[in-house]
Structure 1
Amino acid sequence: MRLETTRNFLFASAAVLAFASPAFALDGADVLKKMNAAYQVQGAEITAKSVATNGDNVTLSGVVIGSGMDPAQQFPIGNVTLEGVEEDNGGYTIEKMSFENVNYAKEKVAITIDDLYMTGVVVPADATANTVDAMLFYDEAHTGPASVKIDGKEAFSIAESNATMTKSEDGGTLSFDLTAEGFKGDLSGVTDPKSKEAIDALQLKSLSGDLTVNGSWEVAPGTINVDEYSIDVENVGRLDMSFSVSGYTMAFIKSMQDAVKAQEANPNKEQADQAFGLAMLGLMQQLTFNNAKISFDDAGITKRGIDYAAKEQGTTSQQLSQMIKGMAPMMIAQLNIPELQNAVSAAVNTYVDDPKNFTISAAPAKPVPFPMIMGAAMGAPNTIPSVLGVTVTANQ
């Protein structure tokens, strides 16, 4: 009995030592290799001066992210710490990726970004596979305060941004959400006299607002639904867009990536651009238009714009408003779209008299293939509004 107990103990000890040995340790170099493979598919490349592994943590030192060999396209981001790294069927899961604060300066431009991290990162085993599992995912990507300075003066800043991705249980749908809170833009540094005059009159010297994007991607049919893409600028207004397109499948993405790689590999830039354009034209044939909408809620910019334009033309704001309302029907008439002419004229009149909101929608009775849209644009452009089910409204 004692001999059997001793033998079992030795076997157990040997198993523990085996799994703790370097042969079974986390391979930090392979983690970087798999991450890089996923980024390269998207046209980017990651390099690191060194890779260090400590338990289930990996530290990448001297990391640079870029595209191609052009130094101008290389962006150094310092050290990156990967925490809670685990091997997963040839790929890896990472609990958290933490980045050093960015402090980048080149010539007259300086960029700083604080508190960068990603959580719930999934690194694919094979980035070339034609499935959704070949893509790099994350649960959350976050940045703290970010700033862009030109000649030492802050031109643009963001208080905080946050992006999330969620995959359905069956992997068939991916939802995404992005918010950029407290962005600010400073146009006081504009020196051109005419531009400066317009900026002052329109009260655009200092801008602040928020950005929100959310939607989903249905993988199999390749349907992208952008439910909200809004930019809300204080004292200016809110621009809100949404759209839905089908056909953006994994095969489509792969073909698009191949076209980009072929363009970059061709030393003849003119020939490369022409080939890329033809490839994109061919790929567009695979897409289908479902619907789209763009609307603007005014917060004062319209009246200031009319006032400034009237002053420039040596007339009054009221006279210019009447001119706009009178010119709108004539301009639309030139497009030969009678079914839309009255609606546009009515919407323009309503909006100019009392600027609140202006909306253009395209909602066809059934999805329209892009080739049909392109054919209408080339053969009978005046039919596009009816093909796409375009409507124009104001103050609704």
Structure 2
Amino acid sequence: MTFYRTTRLMLSSAAILSFANSAFALDGNDLLKKINDAYAQQGGSIAAESIDISGTTVTLKGASVKAAGTTDGVKVGDITLTGVAEAGGGYTVDQIAFPDVATTKDDVTIAASDLKMSGVEIPADATKGDLDSLLLYKTAHAGSLSFTKDGTKVFSFTDADATLNKRADKSGLDFNANVNGITADLSKVADPQTKEAINQLNLQQLSGKIAMKGSWEIAPGRIDITEYSLDFKDVGKLNIALSLSGYTPAFSKSLQDALKTVRSNPNQQDAQQSAGLAMLGLLQQLTFNSAQIRFDDSSITSRALEFAGKQQGVSGKQLADTLKAMTPIMMAQLNIPELQNAVSAAVSAYLDNPKSLTVKASPDKPVPLPMIIGAAMGAPQSIPQVIGLKVSSND
């Protein structure tokens, strides 16, 4: 009797466990659909030949990715998602790992390794227009990447990392990214004039890094890019900062819809005209807060002056003196005395001792973008006052 009771208990337990596993098994097709719903907001899609599920691991077998503006998908192989869990109709994924890339086309070989994303959130509804409707990740990483042509590695970087921090109150995101160990080989350039310029400027081998940092507040659509820098050895560091408001999820969707319309229209001339009108309408929603472009020299300026001066039969110092004399004359044509004086003083100081050159626009209060466009078209001399334009050097 005990034997039969034990047997029934074991069979009942097995049935319950079987039912539970069936009830809580991941739906791979729904997972891929929700990924595509979110990715489609950027105009792309992911396809898979089959979907394999093992516990909380989902593998998209034979996956291909079609990016915005392309007609054919690119085969990437198996994409592995580990630690997948349902979350409020959407999904969370501990890590998404992509296969290494090694492909050759037109004698150019592209190789990339260790591609992965961690802490991924896949939304249940990608159309709500809030932070929860976005496909987000906490970290993204790429190992080495290289482009090789005819046996020569023309471009590469050692690694790249990006992070997204979703604020606890869901008001926005903070982000940063770094691309390290960049190298570019310009020594094989074929055009004689370009090759001469590269040699004279000592740019045969470039090495450097790229960095980006900023934030996005969802409700006002305020994007603050505090750093977008390209820093190359023996050249210099170019850093761009920009702040705009009005770039909301709704604005982003309208922008993507306009681009989709252009790509789907077989008559590209009509499509581009329509897109131009659509863009003008969208720009009405944006507000300019501030911007800055700064260049910190690392010897490229003196080499450029020497090279350009040699083309004209003068020394770099003589060319610099000529440029200092010409700047006030050229600026006078704008009929903006205050800007003329500031630019002339900045250029003169920079050419005498190249350290840094900064162009900054910081209005007293945010300016609607259409107002800036209107000023540029109707009264360009008013632009410095409208956007608070200032130029300085060596500060």
Q: Tell me the TM-score range normalised by the shorter chain.
A: over 0.9
Q: CA deviation at 1:12?
A: 6.7
Aligned AA (2:53): T
Match of 2:96, SS state, is strand
Q: Which residue of structure 2 aligns with residue 370 of structure 1?
A: 369
Contact conserved, 2:131 with 2:172, CA < 8 A, in 1?
no
Give deviations 1:270-300, integer Å, cap 9, x for gaps: 1111111111111011100000111000000
Distance 2:182 2:44 in 1: 27
Is structure 2 residue 27 aligned with structure 1 residue 42?
no
In structure 2, the residue matched to 1:59 is 59
Alignment correspondent of 1:261? 260
- 8 A Cα contact 2:137 2:163, kept in partner: yes
- Do 2:177 and 2:211's aligned partners in 1 also have CA atoms closer than 8 Å? yes
Residue 58 of structure 1: CA displacement?
0.6
**What stretches of structure 1 of length at least 5 have no aligned partner?**
none
TM-superposed deviation, 1:13 = 6.2
- 1:7, CA displacement in angstroms? 10
Aligned length: 392
Structure 1, residues 299-328: CA drift from partner, whole Å, max 9, x if none? Answer: 000000000011000112221111000001
CA distance, structure 2, for counterparts of residue 56 and residue 106 of structure 1:
37
Number of the residue aligned with 1:30 = 30
Q: How many Å apart are 1:69 and its aligned residue?
A: 9.0
* CA–CA separation in structure 1 for the residues paired with 2:13 and 2:352: 85
Whether the 8 Å contact between 2:69 and 2:263 is mirrored in structure 1 is no
1:229 corresponds in structure 2 to 228
3-state SS in 2 of match to 1:60: strand
Can you list the C-alpha shifts for 1:239-289, whole angstroms capped at 9, x where unaligned? 011110000011111211211222222222111111111111110111000
Q: Hey, what does 2:194 align to over in structure 1?
A: 195
Aligned partner of residue 295 in structure 1, secondary structure: strand
User: Within 2, Cα distance between the matches of 1:250 and 1:39?
Assistant: 14
1:229 partner letter: Y
| Partner in structure 2 of residue 106 of structure 1 | 105
Q: TM-score by structure 1 length?
A: 0.95
The secondary structure found in structure 2 opposite 1:366 is: coil
TM superposition shift of 1:42:
0.6
Against the structure 1 CA distance between its residues 68 and 364, is the aligned structure 2 distance closer, same or farther, given a 3 Å change threshold? closer
Spell out the pairing of 1:1-396 with structure 2 (5 A cutoff). Answer: 15-21=16-22, 23-67=23-67, 73-396=72-395
Q: Which amino acid aligns with 1:390?
A: L
Which residue identity is paired with 2:328? P
Secondary structure in 1 aligned to 2:334?
Answer: coil
The letter of the residue matching 1:135 is L
**Whole-angstrom CA distance in 1 between matches of 2:128 and 2:267:** 30
Aligned-residue offset at 1:48: 1.2
Amino acid at match of 2:284: Q
- Partners of 2:286 and 2:129 lie apart in 1 by 18
SS at match of 1:204: coil
* Whole-angstrom CA distance in 2 between matches of 1:217 and 1:369: 18
Identity %: 50
| Cα offset, 1:10, TM superposition | 8.4
TM-score (structure 2 length as normaliser)? 0.95
Give the whole-Å Cα distance in 2 for the aligned partners of 1:351 and 1:75: 48
Q: Following TM superposition, by how much is the alpha carbon of 1:129 offset from its aligned partner in structure 2, in angstroms? A: 2.2
What's the CA shift string for 1:110-129, capped at 9, x where partnerless?
Answer: 11101111000111112222
Q: CA RMSD in A?
A: 2.0
CA distance in 1, matches of 2:64, 2:17: 38
Paired with 1:390 and 1:133, the residues of 2 have a C-alpha distance of 38
